[in-house]
Amino acid sequence: MAEKVNKVITKDDKNKLKNIDIYSEGLKYLMNTYSRLPVVFEKAAMQYLWDVEGKKYTDFTSGYGCLNVGHSNKEVISALKNQISKIIQPSNIYFSQPQVKLAKLLCSLTAGFGEKVFFANSGTEAIEGAIKLARKYSTDKYGKKRYEIISFYNSFHGRTLGALSATAQTKKQSPFEPLLQGFRYASLNDMDSVKNEVNDKTCAILIEPVQGEGGINVTDKKFMKELRDLCTEKDILLVLDEIQTGFGRTGKLFAYENYNIIPDIMVVAKSLGGGMPIGAIISNDKISAAFSPGTHGSTFGGNAASCAAGVAVLEYFKKHDIIEASNKQGIYFLSELNNLKDRYENLIKEVRGMGLMLAVEFKYPVADEIVKFGLKNFFVLNKVSDFTIRFLPPLIIERKDIKNLMVFLNKTLKGFDKNAKSKKN
Ligand X SMILES: Cc1ncc(COP(=O)(O)O)c(C=O)c1O
Among 380, 62, 397, CA closest to 244: 62
Cβ proximity to ligand X, 148 vs 208, nearer residue: 208
Tell me which of 51, 59, 208, 336 binds ligand X, using CB under 6 A: 208
Stretch that binds ligand X, among 180-188, 224-232, 241-249, 340-348 (CB under 6 A): 241-249
Shortest distance, CB of residue 34 to ligand X, whole angstroms? 12
| Residues forming a β-bridge with 352 | 359
CB 122 to ligand X: min, Å: 4
Rounded CA separation 212/34 (Å): 17
Handedness of CA 287, 291, 296, 301 (dihedral sign): positive
Interface with ligand X includes 212 (CB under 6 A)?
yes
Eight-class DSSP state of 277: -
Q: How far is the CB of 144 from ligand X (least distance, A)?
A: 28
Binding mask 126-145 for ligand X (x = CB under 6 A): -x------------------
Interface residue with ligand X, options 63, 70, 98, 123 (CB under 6 A)? 123
d(CA 387, CA 408): 18
Number of residues this chain uses to bind ligand X (CB under 6 A): 15
Among residues 280, 273, 276, which one has the least CA distance to residue 313? 273
Burial 14-53 (b: 16+ CB within 10 A, else e): eeeeebeebbeeeeeeeeeeeeeeebbbeebebbbbebbb
Residue nearest to ligand X (CB): 123
**Measured from the CB atom, is 129 or 212 closer to ligand X?**
212
Whole-angstrom distance, CA of residue 180 vs CA of residue 22? 38
Whole-angstrom distance, CA of residue 198 vs CA of residue 237: 12
User: Which residue, among 148, 150, 154, has the nearest Cα to 194 in the 3D structure?
Assistant: 150
Q: How far is the CB of 412 from ligand X (least distance, A)?
A: 26
Nearer to ligand X by Cβ, of 155 and 412: the residue is 155
Q: Which stretch binds ligand X (CB under 6 A): 4-12, 19-27, 154-162, 251-259?
A: 154-162
Q: Find the shortest distance in angstroms from Cβ 397 to ligand X.
A: 19
Stretch that binds ligand X, among 74-82, 173-181, 237-245, 330-338 (CB under 6 A): 237-245
Tell me the closest approach of the beta carbon of residue 125 to ligand X, in angstroms. Answer: 7
Q: Does 274 bind ligand X (CB under 6 A)?
A: no
Going from the C-alpha of 124 to that of each of 42, 160, 280, 365, 418, the distances in angstroms are: 27, 6, 10, 29, 43
CB atoms within 10 A of CB 304: 20
**Rounded to whole angstroms, how far apart are CA atoms 383 and 393?**
13
Q: Is 146 in the site for ligand X (CB under 6 A)?
A: no
Check binding of 401 to ligand X (CB under 6 A): no
- Which of 269, 280, 314, 354 binds ligand X (CB under 6 A)? It is 269
Question: Residue 42 in 3-state DSSP?
Answer: strand
The single residue among 135, 136, 157, 390 that binds ligand X, judged by CB under 6 A, is 157
Q: Considering the rule CB under 6 A, would residue 156 count as an interface residue with ligand X?
A: yes
- How does DSSP classify residue 243? T
Cα distance between residue 388 and residue 222, in whole Å: 26
Contact with ligand X (CB under 6 A) among 23, 41, 50, 64: 64
Q: Which is nearer to ligand X, 255 or 396 (CB)?
A: 255
- Out of 73, 96, 124, 165, name the contact with ligand X by CB under 6 A: 124
Residues forming contacts to ligand X in the complex (CB under 6 A) are: 64, 122-124, 127, 156-158, 208, 212-213, 241, 243-244, 269
